[in-house]
Amino acid sequence: MTTTVEVTRDWPQGGLLTAAEGADLLVVGHEEVGLTRRFLLGSVAVSVVENATCPVAVVPLGPREGSA
């Protein structure tokens, strides 16, 4: 298996979708947020899953340190 790590300056969705072009799989992390915040800000993971040209694996991130 070959993995590629790339750092770009772009909007999250645009950068991830560009990186996914020609990829066999895109893996993204997803942090749970409240429904209000998700509605107002959108979700990068949802946007990438809906628009990527390759399969996308969404990995849930653990709770932030210090959160209840």
Is residue 52 a part of any domain in this protein? Answer: yes
Is residue 31 a part of any domain in this protein? Answer: yes
Predicted pLDDT of residue 40: 47
Domain span at 52? 25-60
pTM for the whole structure: 0.69
Is residue 40 a part of any domain in this protein? Answer: yes
Domain count, the chain: 1
Predicted pLDDT of residue 8: 79
Is residue 10 a part of any domain in this protein? Answer: no
Backbone φ and ψ of 33, nearest 5° = -135, 165
Is residue 44 a part of any domain in this protein? Answer: yes
d(CA 68, CA 54): 36
Backbone φ and ψ of 51, nearest 5° = -120, -10
Which residues in the chain land under pLDDT 50? 40-41
Predicted pLDDT of residue 1: 80
